[in-house]
A = this chain, B = another copy of it.
Protein backbone atom coordinates (compact mmCIF):
# COMPACT_ATOMS: atom_id res chain seq x y z
CA UNK A 1 0.00 0.00 0.00
CA UNK A 2 1.22 3.46 -0.92
CA UNK A 3 1.57 5.27 2.37
CA UNK A 4 3.42 8.47 1.51
CA UNK A 5 1.51 11.69 1.07
CA UNK A 6 1.13 13.01 -2.46
CA UNK A 7 3.81 15.47 -3.56
CA UNK A 8 2.41 19.02 -3.29
CA UNK A 9 3.39 20.93 -6.41
CA UNK A 10 2.98 24.63 -7.08
CA UNK A 11 2.71 25.80 -10.66
CA UNK A 12 4.15 29.19 -11.60
CA UNK A 13 2.71 30.52 -14.85
CA UNK A 14 -0.83 29.82 -16.05
CA UNK A 15 -0.31 30.35 -19.78
CA UNK A 16 -0.50 27.81 -22.56
CA UNK A 17 2.34 25.61 -21.34
CA UNK A 18 1.50 26.12 -17.69
CA UNK A 19 -2.10 25.08 -18.24
CA UNK A 20 -0.95 21.95 -20.01
CA UNK A 21 1.39 21.04 -17.16
CA UNK A 22 -1.41 21.83 -14.70
CA UNK A 23 -3.64 19.20 -16.30
CA UNK A 24 -0.86 16.65 -16.06
CA UNK A 25 -0.07 17.52 -12.45
CA UNK A 26 -3.71 17.48 -11.40
CA UNK A 27 -4.91 14.45 -13.28
CA UNK A 28 -2.31 12.21 -14.80
CA UNK A 29 0.30 11.67 -12.13
CA UNK A 30 -0.49 9.37 -9.23
CA UNK A 31 1.17 10.60 -6.06
CA UNK A 32 1.22 14.21 -7.19
CA UNK A 33 -1.12 16.98 -6.13
CA UNK A 34 -1.40 20.39 -7.78
CA UNK A 35 -1.58 22.42 -4.59
CA UNK A 36 -1.26 25.95 -5.92
CA UNK A 37 -1.07 28.05 -9.04
CA UNK A 38 0.55 31.47 -9.30
CA UNK A 39 0.36 33.95 -12.14
CA UNK A 40 0.67 37.72 -11.94
CA UNK A 41 -1.87 38.23 -14.73
CA UNK A 42 -5.20 39.22 -13.15
CA UNK A 43 -7.54 36.25 -12.93
CA UNK A 44 -5.26 33.77 -14.69
CA UNK A 45 -4.39 31.67 -11.66
CA UNK A 46 -7.95 31.73 -10.36
CA UNK A 47 -9.38 30.64 -13.65
CA UNK A 48 -6.99 27.72 -13.97
CA UNK A 49 -7.58 26.70 -10.34
CA UNK A 50 -11.32 26.71 -10.93
CA UNK A 51 -10.96 24.56 -13.99
CA UNK A 52 -8.92 21.96 -12.14
CA UNK A 53 -10.94 21.82 -8.94
CA UNK A 54 -12.22 18.33 -8.22
CA UNK A 55 -13.03 15.97 -5.39
CA UNK A 56 -9.51 16.50 -4.04
CA UNK A 57 -10.15 20.17 -3.73
CA UNK A 58 -9.10 23.25 -5.61
CA UNK A 59 -5.52 24.48 -6.01
CA UNK A 60 -4.83 27.72 -4.19
CA UNK A 61 -4.53 30.62 -6.63
CA UNK A 62 -1.92 33.33 -6.14
CA UNK A 63 -1.22 36.47 -8.11
CA UNK A 64 1.98 36.99 -6.15
CA UNK A 65 4.55 34.37 -7.07
CA UNK A 66 6.35 35.14 -3.82
CA UNK A 67 3.31 33.99 -1.87
CA UNK A 68 3.37 30.63 -3.58
CA UNK A 69 7.07 30.29 -2.82
CA UNK A 70 6.34 31.17 0.80
CA UNK A 71 3.54 28.60 1.07
CA UNK A 72 5.00 25.96 3.40
CA UNK A 73 2.76 23.19 2.02
CA UNK A 74 4.44 23.43 -1.40
CA UNK A 75 7.32 21.00 -1.79
CA UNK A 76 8.12 21.49 -5.45
CA UNK A 77 7.46 24.06 -8.15
CA UNK A 78 6.97 23.90 -11.89
CA UNK A 79 8.07 27.12 -13.62
CA UNK A 80 6.27 27.84 -16.88
CA UNK A 81 6.58 31.60 -17.17
CA UNK A 82 8.14 33.59 -20.04
CA UNK A 83 11.74 32.55 -20.73
CA UNK A 84 13.44 35.68 -19.47
CA UNK A 85 12.02 35.23 -15.98
CA UNK A 86 13.13 31.62 -15.55
CA UNK A 87 16.56 31.96 -13.99
CA UNK A 88 15.43 34.43 -11.34
CA UNK A 89 12.52 32.18 -10.40
CA UNK A 90 14.74 29.13 -10.18
CA UNK A 91 16.98 31.00 -7.77
CA UNK A 92 14.05 32.22 -5.67
CA UNK A 93 12.40 28.81 -5.57
CA UNK A 94 15.63 27.06 -4.65
CA UNK A 95 16.25 29.57 -1.88
CA UNK A 96 12.71 28.88 -0.64
CA UNK A 97 13.72 25.21 -0.42
CA UNK A 98 11.48 23.99 -3.21
CA UNK A 99 12.47 21.32 -5.69
CA UNK A 100 12.48 22.99 -9.11
CA UNK A 101 11.25 21.95 -12.51
CA UNK A 102 11.84 24.78 -15.02
CA UNK A 103 10.65 25.00 -18.58
CA UNK A 104 13.36 25.51 -21.18
CA UNK A 105 15.35 27.70 -21.48
CA UNK A 106 16.39 27.74 -17.87
CA UNK A 107 18.32 30.96 -18.53
CA UNK A 108 19.25 33.20 -21.42
CA UNK A 109 22.74 34.13 -20.21
CA UNK A 110 25.48 31.86 -18.96
CA UNK A 111 25.82 33.95 -15.81
CA UNK A 112 22.16 33.40 -15.03
CA UNK A 113 22.48 29.72 -15.78
CA UNK A 114 25.39 29.49 -13.38
CA UNK A 115 23.44 31.37 -10.71
CA UNK A 116 20.46 29.02 -11.09
CA UNK A 117 22.63 25.92 -10.90
CA UNK A 118 24.48 27.27 -7.87
CA UNK A 119 21.26 28.22 -6.07
CA UNK A 120 19.86 24.72 -6.45
CA UNK A 121 23.14 23.16 -5.38
CA UNK A 122 23.45 25.42 -2.37
CA UNK A 123 19.88 24.73 -1.33
CA UNK A 124 20.28 21.03 -1.91
CA UNK A 125 17.15 20.84 -4.08
CA UNK A 126 16.70 18.96 -7.36
CA UNK A 127 16.71 21.10 -10.51
CA UNK A 128 15.16 19.68 -13.67
CA UNK A 129 14.70 21.35 -17.07
CA UNK A 130 11.89 20.80 -19.60
CA UNK A 131 13.78 19.07 -22.38
CA UNK A 132 10.86 16.84 -23.22
CA UNK A 133 12.50 15.02 -26.14
CA UNK A 134 14.63 13.17 -23.60
CA UNK A 135 11.38 11.61 -22.39
CA UNK A 136 10.03 10.64 -25.80
CA UNK A 137 10.24 6.86 -26.28
CA UNK A 138 11.89 7.10 -29.70
CA UNK A 139 14.55 9.65 -28.78
CA UNK A 140 15.16 7.87 -25.51
CA UNK A 141 15.60 4.50 -27.23
CA UNK A 142 18.03 6.13 -29.66
CA UNK A 143 20.04 7.59 -26.77
CA UNK A 144 20.20 4.20 -25.12
CA UNK A 145 21.28 2.40 -28.29
CA UNK A 146 23.96 4.98 -29.00
CA UNK A 147 25.17 4.77 -25.43
CA UNK A 148 25.35 1.01 -25.80
CA UNK A 149 27.52 1.40 -28.90
CA UNK A 150 24.96 0.01 -31.35
CA UNK A 151 25.92 2.45 -34.10
CA UNK A 152 29.57 2.88 -33.14
CA UNK A 153 30.91 6.42 -32.85
CA UNK A 154 28.52 9.19 -33.95
CA UNK A 155 29.89 11.05 -36.98
CA UNK A 156 26.95 13.00 -38.40
CA UNK A 157 23.89 14.16 -36.47
CA UNK A 158 20.79 16.09 -37.36
CA UNK A 159 17.96 17.54 -35.32
CA UNK A 160 15.19 19.76 -36.55
CA UNK A 161 12.16 21.61 -35.27
CA UNK A 162 9.51 23.15 -37.43
CA UNK A 163 6.58 24.76 -35.74
CA UNK A 164 3.24 24.62 -37.48
CA UNK A 165 2.26 28.26 -37.48
CA UNK A 166 3.68 31.70 -36.81
CA UNK A 167 0.63 33.43 -35.45
CA UNK A 168 1.79 36.75 -34.11
CA UNK A 169 5.36 37.65 -35.01
CA UNK A 170 5.15 40.85 -33.03
CA UNK A 171 5.08 38.88 -29.77
CA UNK A 172 8.25 36.94 -30.45
CA UNK A 173 11.42 38.32 -28.82
CA UNK A 174 14.62 38.50 -30.89
CA UNK A 175 16.77 35.35 -30.94
CA UNK A 176 13.79 33.22 -29.94
CA UNK A 177 14.62 30.74 -32.69
CA UNK A 178 17.89 29.92 -30.94
CA UNK A 179 17.04 30.47 -27.28
CA UNK A 180 13.61 28.86 -27.21
CA UNK A 181 13.15 26.69 -30.29
CA UNK A 182 16.53 25.30 -31.30
CA UNK A 183 17.49 24.96 -27.65
CA UNK A 184 15.54 21.69 -27.87
CA UNK A 185 17.64 20.56 -30.82
CA UNK A 186 20.89 21.62 -29.17
CA UNK A 187 19.98 19.52 -26.16
CA UNK A 188 18.82 16.65 -28.36
CA UNK A 189 22.13 16.63 -30.22
CA UNK A 190 24.04 16.42 -26.94
CA UNK A 191 21.63 13.73 -25.76
CA UNK A 192 22.24 11.74 -28.95
CA UNK A 193 26.01 12.14 -28.78
CA UNK A 194 26.47 11.07 -25.19
CA UNK A 195 29.71 12.00 -23.54
CA UNK A 196 30.70 14.46 -26.26
CA UNK A 197 30.57 18.23 -25.93
CA UNK A 198 30.24 20.97 -28.56
CA UNK A 199 33.41 22.80 -29.55
CA UNK A 200 32.43 25.25 -32.27
CA UNK A 201 29.21 26.60 -33.80
CA UNK A 202 28.33 28.23 -37.10
CA UNK A 203 24.87 29.60 -37.81
CA UNK A 204 22.83 31.36 -40.43
CA UNK A 205 19.34 32.70 -39.82
CA UNK A 206 16.88 34.77 -41.75
CA UNK A 207 13.31 36.06 -41.82
CA UNK A 208 11.90 33.99 -44.67
CA UNK A 209 8.42 33.36 -43.31
CA UNK A 210 7.82 37.00 -42.37
CA UNK A 211 10.43 39.13 -44.12
CA UNK A 212 8.38 42.17 -43.07
CA UNK A 213 9.46 41.53 -39.47
CA UNK A 214 13.14 41.16 -40.21
CA UNK A 215 13.95 44.75 -39.29
CA UNK A 216 12.41 44.18 -35.87
CA UNK A 217 14.88 41.37 -35.32
CA UNK A 218 12.60 38.41 -35.93
CA UNK A 219 14.45 35.44 -37.38
CA UNK A 220 12.15 32.57 -38.35
CA UNK A 221 14.46 30.23 -40.25
CA UNK A 222 17.86 28.99 -39.14
CA UNK A 223 20.52 26.42 -39.86
CA UNK A 224 23.22 25.73 -37.29
CA UNK A 225 26.22 23.45 -37.65
CA UNK A 226 28.07 22.21 -34.60
CA UNK A 227 31.42 20.50 -34.25
CA UNK A 228 31.76 18.19 -31.24
CA UNK A 229 34.90 17.16 -29.41
CA UNK A 230 34.57 13.57 -30.63
CA UNK A 231 34.74 14.84 -34.21
CA UNK A 232 31.02 14.46 -34.90
CA UNK A 233 29.48 17.14 -37.11
CA UNK A 234 25.88 18.09 -36.40
CA UNK A 235 23.24 20.25 -38.01
CA UNK A 236 20.20 21.76 -36.36
CA UNK A 237 17.53 23.57 -38.28
CA UNK A 238 14.34 25.36 -37.43
CA UNK A 239 11.50 27.17 -39.10
CA UNK A 240 8.45 28.81 -37.56
CA UNK A 241 5.83 27.83 -40.13
CA UNK A 242 5.53 24.31 -41.49
CA UNK A 243 2.16 24.25 -43.20
CA UNK A 244 1.97 20.46 -42.94
CA UNK A 245 2.28 20.32 -39.16
CA UNK A 246 4.63 20.07 -36.26
CA UNK A 247 7.83 18.45 -37.46
CA UNK A 248 10.49 17.18 -35.09
CA UNK A 249 13.02 14.66 -36.30
CA UNK A 250 16.48 13.40 -35.46
CA UNK A 251 19.14 11.35 -37.19
CA UNK A 252 22.41 9.96 -35.95
CA UNK A 253 24.88 8.37 -38.32
CA UNK A 254 27.76 6.48 -36.80
CA UNK A 255 30.64 4.24 -37.73
CA UNK A 256 28.47 1.14 -37.28
CA UNK A 257 24.98 2.25 -38.31
CA UNK A 258 22.34 4.96 -38.33
CA UNK A 259 19.26 5.80 -36.29
CA UNK A 260 16.38 7.96 -37.42
CA UNK A 261 13.72 9.36 -35.15
CA UNK A 262 10.56 11.36 -35.59
CA UNK A 263 7.10 10.74 -36.85
CA UNK A 264 4.79 13.42 -38.06
CA UNK A 265 1.84 11.16 -38.77
CA UNK A 266 -1.14 11.87 -36.54
CA UNK A 267 -2.50 8.31 -36.65
CA UNK A 268 -1.63 5.03 -38.34
CA UNK A 269 -4.33 5.58 -40.95
CA UNK A 270 -3.30 5.84 -44.60
CA UNK A 271 -5.77 6.93 -47.28
CA UNK A 272 -5.47 5.98 -50.94
CA UNK A 273 -7.39 7.80 -53.62
CA UNK A 274 -7.11 9.07 -57.17
CA UNK A 275 -4.31 11.40 -56.08
CA UNK A 276 -2.26 8.65 -54.46
CA UNK A 277 -1.56 7.78 -50.86
CA UNK A 278 -2.08 10.24 -48.02
CA UNK A 279 -1.71 10.51 -44.25
CA UNK A 280 -2.57 13.17 -41.72
CA UNK A 281 0.21 14.98 -39.89
CA UNK A 282 0.50 16.11 -36.29
CA UNK A 283 -0.27 19.77 -35.75
CA UNK A 284 0.53 20.55 -32.14
CA UNK A 285 3.55 19.76 -30.07
CA UNK A 286 1.36 18.57 -27.23
CA UNK A 287 -0.05 15.90 -29.54
CA UNK A 288 3.38 14.78 -30.64
CA UNK A 289 4.99 14.70 -27.24
CA UNK A 290 1.93 14.12 -25.07
CA UNK A 291 3.37 11.07 -23.37
CA UNK A 292 6.77 12.73 -23.06
CA UNK A 293 5.24 15.70 -21.23
CA UNK A 294 3.69 13.34 -18.72
CA UNK A 295 6.90 11.33 -18.41
CA UNK A 296 9.06 14.33 -17.65
CA UNK A 297 6.85 15.44 -14.78
CA UNK A 298 6.69 11.86 -13.52
CA UNK A 299 10.49 11.86 -13.58
CA UNK A 300 10.46 15.11 -11.63
CA UNK A 301 8.16 13.74 -8.94
CA UNK A 302 10.23 10.60 -8.72
CA UNK A 303 13.55 12.41 -8.47
CA UNK A 304 12.14 14.69 -5.76
CA UNK A 305 11.00 11.67 -3.78
CA UNK A 306 14.08 9.56 -4.21
CA UNK A 307 16.74 12.25 -4.29
CA UNK A 308 18.25 10.95 -7.51
CA UNK A 309 19.40 13.24 -10.30
CA UNK A 310 16.68 13.96 -12.85
CA UNK A 311 17.16 13.02 -16.47
CA UNK A 312 17.55 16.64 -17.73
CA UNK A 313 19.59 18.79 -15.40
CA UNK A 314 20.55 22.42 -14.94
CA UNK A 315 23.95 21.55 -16.38
CA UNK A 316 22.25 20.19 -19.50
CA UNK A 317 20.35 23.47 -19.76
CA UNK A 318 23.59 25.44 -19.50
CA UNK A 319 25.28 23.34 -22.17
CA UNK A 320 22.42 23.78 -24.62
CA UNK A 321 22.39 27.50 -23.86
CA UNK A 322 26.08 27.69 -24.74
CA UNK A 323 25.32 26.41 -28.21
CA UNK A 324 22.44 28.85 -28.59
CA UNK A 325 24.56 31.80 -27.53
CA UNK A 326 27.36 30.72 -29.86
CA UNK A 327 24.81 30.53 -32.67
CA UNK A 328 23.57 34.03 -31.86
CA UNK A 329 27.10 35.35 -31.92
CA UNK A 330 27.84 33.48 -35.16
CA UNK A 331 24.83 35.04 -36.85
CA UNK A 332 25.97 38.44 -35.61
CA UNK A 333 29.61 38.07 -36.63
CA UNK A 334 29.25 35.88 -39.70
CA UNK A 335 31.96 33.47 -38.60
CA UNK A 336 32.12 30.29 -36.51
CA UNK A 337 32.23 30.75 -32.76
CA UNK A 338 34.07 28.56 -30.32
CA UNK A 339 32.15 27.50 -27.25
CA UNK A 340 35.22 28.37 -25.19
CA UNK A 341 35.01 31.98 -26.37
CA UNK A 342 31.69 32.37 -24.56
CA UNK A 343 33.16 32.04 -21.12
CA UNK A 344 32.52 35.61 -19.95
CA UNK A 345 29.06 35.89 -21.48
The reply on A265 being an interface residue by CB < 8 A is yes
The reply on A64 being an interface residue by CB < 8 A is no
The reply on A27 being an interface residue by CB < 8 A is yes
In the complex, what distance in Å separates the CA atom of A274 from the CA atom of B254?
12
* Contact indicator per residue, chain A 115-151, by CB within 8 Å of chain B (1) or not (0): 0000000000000000000000111011001000011
Evaluate contact between A257 and B279: CB separation under 8 angstroms: no
Cβ < 8 Å to B, chain A residues 233-256: 233-235, 237, 239, 241-245, 247, 253, 255-256
Nearest Cβ distance between residue A47 and chain B, in whole angstroms? 10
The reply on A42 being an interface residue by CB < 8 A is no
The reply on A86 being an interface residue by CB < 8 A is no
Instruction: Specify the chain B residue showing the minimal Cβ separation from A243.
Output: B274
Nearest Cβ distance between residue A20 and chain B, in whole angstroms? 15
Taking A6-B55, A235-B237 as contacts, is the C-beta distance between A271 and B253 under 8 angstroms?
A: no
The reply on A184 being an interface residue by CB < 8 A is no
Evaluate contact between B223 and A204: CB separation under 8 angstroms: no
Nearest Cβ distance between residue A31 and chain B, in whole angstroms? 7
Partner of A268, one of B211, B262, B266, B277: B262
The reply on A51 being an interface residue by CB < 8 A is yes
Chain A: how many interface residues by the 8 Å CB criterion? 84
Evaluate contact between B58 and A56: CB separation under 8 angstroms: no
Counted per complex, copies of this chain come to 4
The reply on A280 being an interface residue by CB < 8 A is yes
Evaluate contact between A204 and B221: CB separation under 8 angstroms: no
Instruction: Specify the chain B residue showing the minimal Cβ separation from A271.
Output: B259
Evaluate contact between A273 and B253: CB separation under 8 angstroms: no
Residues of chain B contacted by A276 (CB below 8 angstroms):
244-245, 265-266, 278-281
Cβ < 8 Å to B, chain A residues 4-30: 5-6, 26-28, 30
Evaluate contact between A145 and B271: CB separation under 8 angstroms: yes
Residues of chain B contacted by A55 (CB below 8 angstroms):
5-6, 33, 56
Q: Can you offer 6 A-B residue contacts whose CB atoms are under 8 A? A: A2-B53, A27-B28, A206-B233, A244-B274, A257-B271, A261-B269
Q: A1-B50, A256-B274 are in contact. List 20 more A-B contacts (CB 8 A).
A: A1-B53, A1-B58, A27-B30, A56-B56, A137-B266, A137-B269, A138-B268, A138-B269, A141-B267, A150-B271, A153-B208, A155-B221, A155-B239, A202-B202, A206-B231, A221-B231, A223-B233, A223-B235, A235-B237, A276-B280
